[in-house]
Amino acid sequence: MKLSSSDLISKISELQDRKKYQELNWEGTFQDYLDIVIKNPKVTRNAFQRLYDMIVSYGSFDFTEYKKKITRYNFFDDPFENGKDAVFGIDLHLMKLVRVFKSAALGYGTEKRIILLHGPVGSAKSTIARLLKKGLVHYSKTDEGALYTFKWVLDGKNGEKEIVESPMHEDPLCLIPQEIRKPILDEINSNLPDDMPYKVGVHAELCPASRFIYNELMKRYEGDWTKVLDHVVVKRLVFSEEDRIGIGTFQPKDEKNQDSTELTGDINYRKIAEYGSDSDPRAFNFDGEFNIANRGLIEFIEILKLDVAFLYDLLGASQEHKIKPKKFAQTDIDEVIIGHTNEPEYKKLQNNEFMEALRDRTIKIDIPYITKLKDEMKIYERDFNPSRIKKHIAPHTIEVAAMWAVLTRLEQPKKANLTLLQKLKLYNGQSVTGFTEDNVKELRKEAVREGLQGISPRYIQEKISNALVSELEDDYINPFMVMSELESGLKHHSLISSEEEKARYKELLAVVKEEYENIIKSEVQRAISADEEGIAQLCANYIDNVKAYTLKEKIRNKYTGKDEEPDERLMRSIEEKIDIPENRKDDFRREIMNYIGALAVEGKKFTYSTNARLQKALELKLFEDRKDSIKLSSLVSNVIDERTQQQIDIVKSRLIKNYGYTEGSATDVLNYVASIFARGDIKQ
C-alpha cells in the first residue's frame, strides 16, 4: 500500500491528545482556583518543595556500600528520554544533593543558599542541571505537579480587551490583600490533610507590573476587591525552557560584555514615549533570567566566571529571595538557584577575600568522576551499542577503555601490598585476596581527592568514535585499536600539560593491556576446555579419588580391575590450578565432600558447575591436557593440518557463541593468544 500525506495527517491527528492539551491550557476564575487549592493544596508549593517532590515521585531504592546505606533516586536514570541523561556511579553525591533539596523544602535554611555543583570537566554537572530542568518541565504537565498563575484582562483601545500576562508567573494567591491574607491562609491550613508536609502560603509578592495594574484597578473600583477579580483569569502554568517559562539559564560572556539587566530585565525604550516615564512598570521588560525563572529553577553555567555586578544580584536572590530591577523596588522571587563550576574557578573563589559573602551563601556539592568500573562502562555502553553503532565492538573494548579512565582517577594506595589495578577491582565489588569491605572503606577515606582528577569520559568517547570511523577496512573495532587511539591522543590532550602526567597515563595503559591479555587468555583457555563431557568425566574421576582418600579407602582401576591407592598426582594437578597448597589439601577435599553431602540432604545432585572454584580448576586442568593436542601455536606459523583446523574452528565457534565475538574479532584474539602461547607465556 502506497503511503500518502493524507495518511500521515490522519495518523498525527489520531496520536494527538486533545484532552491533555485542554487540561494544560485550562483557564478559570479566582474562585475556581480557590476550589483547586482546597482540593489539592500542593498547587501552592514553593520552588524547592516542588523540585524535591518531583525527584521523590519517581521512586527510589536503598543499597549498602561499604556498610553505608545509600539511596538511589530513579529520577537520575532519566525516565523522560529513555536514559539519555542518566547519571551513573555517584549515588552518594546525588543523595547529598537531594538532602539539600529536602532541607530547603522543609524550610530548614538551605532554601536561602546557592547550590554549587563542583567537579572536574565532564563529570556530569551540566547533565544533572539539565535533568532537573527537564524534570520540572515534565512534572508541571502532570496532575501531581500542576501549578497555576494568572493574566489580566483590561479595557483596551476601541473597546477591545487587552490581555496582560503576569510576567513573573506569580501564584494567584498573591492577589489576596496582604492585610487580610493571614486569616484566610490559616483557615485553609486548618483543613489540610494529615499527610500534607507543607503549609499553604504565598512565597513571593506581586511583581511591579502586576502590582501597578492591581493598584490602578483598586483605585478605579474604590477598594472593591471583588471587582478587581473580574479582570483576573487564572490559568494552568506549564514550564518550558524554550518559551522561557519557569526555567532560566545564564551563561557568562566575556567580562566586557556582561550586563546585569540580562538577569533582572531592562527598560523598553519604545514604550517610554507611550507611558511618559522609564520608571513606569509598563515600560519595563521583566524578562531577565531571574524574572522568567520565578517559581522554577535558574541554572548558572560556570557561575564563578560572573562579573562582580552579577554576584551582588546573586547575594540578594539567594538569601532574601529578592532581586533589584533597574528603577524599581526589590522584587520577590521564588526559585531554585543552581550553578556549576570547575576546580580552578572554585579555588579562585576560596582565595578571593571579596567573595566571602558569596562563599557564605553557597552549598558546595562535589560531583566527581566515577571510580567504579561497571558504572563507567554504562556511560559508553549507552552511546556505543548495537542499536546505534553498525560496526561490531569486540568484547572488552569498552571495558578496557573504562578501566584506563578509572585508573587515571585513582590515587596510589598507601598499602604496599596493593596495586592500583587491585584497588580498581575492590572498588568494583570484586574480591582481592587478603582484603575485606572494611579495607575498601579505609581506602576511600584516605583518598580525599579521588575522582576530582584524571581523564574525562569525553576523551574516552572521542577516542572510541575515532576508532569507529577510522579508515581501516575491518567491520569491527577491538581493544587494541582503542588503546592505540587513547595513547596517541595524549600527545595533544589540551588538559594535560605535564610530561610526568602523560608518562603516568601511558604506564597505566600498559597495566590495562596486560590485564586485557590475561582476560583473553582465560577466555581462550575456557573455550578450549569448554567440553562439558570432558569436564564431567574429569570431575567424576576427581570426586571418586577424593572420596576414597577422605574415607581412607582404595579405588578400583577400571582398566585393570585392581584396587589401588587414590591418584594423588591427579588430585594435586587439579588443586594446584586454584592455588591449594600441600598443607591445605586435606581441608579442601573434606570441604568438597561435605558440600556434596549437604546437597544430597537437600535432595540436590552435585555437578562440576555447582562449585565455582572446582569448576575453574577442572577447566584449567583440561586446558593444560589439551592445549598441545590442539596446537593453537601453529596459527602463528600458518602451517595448520586439517584436524588442527577443525579443532581451532570449534574453539572459534565457542568464542563467538559464548563471549560475543564475530568471525574476524575471534580470529584476532586467537592469533594474539597463539603468539603468547608460542613464547611460552601461559596463564596458569
Do 552 and 470 lie in one domain? The reply is no
pLDDT for res 606: 85
Q: Which string of DSSP letters, residue by residue, matches 97-146? A: HHHHHHHHHTTSSGGGSEEEEE-STTSSHHHHHHHHHHHHHHHTTSSTT-
641-671 pLDDT tens trace: 677 777 788 888 889 998 999 998 998 898 8
| Residue 683 pLDDT | 45
Which of 628, 648, 667 delimits the end of a domain? 628
Q: Is 597 a member of any domain?
A: yes
pLDDT reported for residue 393: 93
pLDDT computed for residue 449 by the predictor:
86
Do residues 513 and 603 both lie within one domain? no
Question: Rounded to whole angstroms, how far apart are CA atoms 382 and 344?
Answer: 30
pLDDT in tens, 237-249: 999 999 999 999 9
**Stated pTM of the model:** 0.85
471 with 402, same domain: the answer is yes
Establish if 408 belongs to a structural domain: yes
- Chosen domain end from 517, 549, 584: 517
Domain presence at residue 140: no
> What share of the chain in percent tops pLDDT 70?
94
Burial zone of 360 (CB within 10 Å; 0-12 exposed, 13-18 middle, 19+ buried): exposed
The verdict on 512 and 534 lying in the same domain is no
Would residue 17 count as lying in a domain? no
Q: Closest Cα to residue 102, out of 131, 138, 60?
A: 60
- pLDDT for position 646: 79
- Type of residue at 190: S
Question: How many structural domains is the chain composed of?
Answer: 2
**Shared-domain flag, residues 402 and 451:** yes
Which grid coordinates are listed for 554?
Answer: 582404595
Q: Are residues 426 and 534 in the same domain?
A: no
Cell of 74: 530513579
Does residue 498 form part of some domain?
A: yes
Specify the pLDDT at position 358: 82
H or E element in which residue 298 lies: strand 297-301
On whether residue 582 sits in a domain, the answer given is yes
| 29 within a domain of the structure (yes/no) | no
Domain hosting 466: range is 373-517
544, 504: one domain: no
The residue among 172, 127, 128, 167 whose CA lies nearest residue 146 is 172
pLDDT, greater one: 508 or 612? 508
In a domain, 482, yes or no: yes
Same domain, 484 and 377: yes
Q: Compute the average pLDDT of residues 107-135.
A: 94
Mean pLDDT of 114-137: 95
Q: What is the predicted pLDDT for the residue at 15?
A: 86
579, 611, 628: which is the final residue of a domain? 628
Are 493 and 399 part of one and the same domain?
yes
624 Cβ neighbours under 8 A, 6+ residues apart: 577
Q: Does residue 540 sit in the same domain as residue 406?
A: no
Do 513 and 534 fall within a single domain? Answer: no
Question: What is the distance between the alpha carbons of residues 19 and 184, in angstroms, rounded to a whole number?
Answer: 33
**pLDDT at residue 682, as a whole number:** 47
Mean pLDDT, residues 398-421 taken together:
93
Tell me if 272 sits within 8 A of 278, measured CB to CB.
yes
Cα gap 77→252, rounded to integer Å: 29
Task: Note whether 384 and 507 are same-domain residues.
Answer: yes
Mean pLDDT of the 198-226 span: 95
Average pLDDT over every residue of 64-87: 91
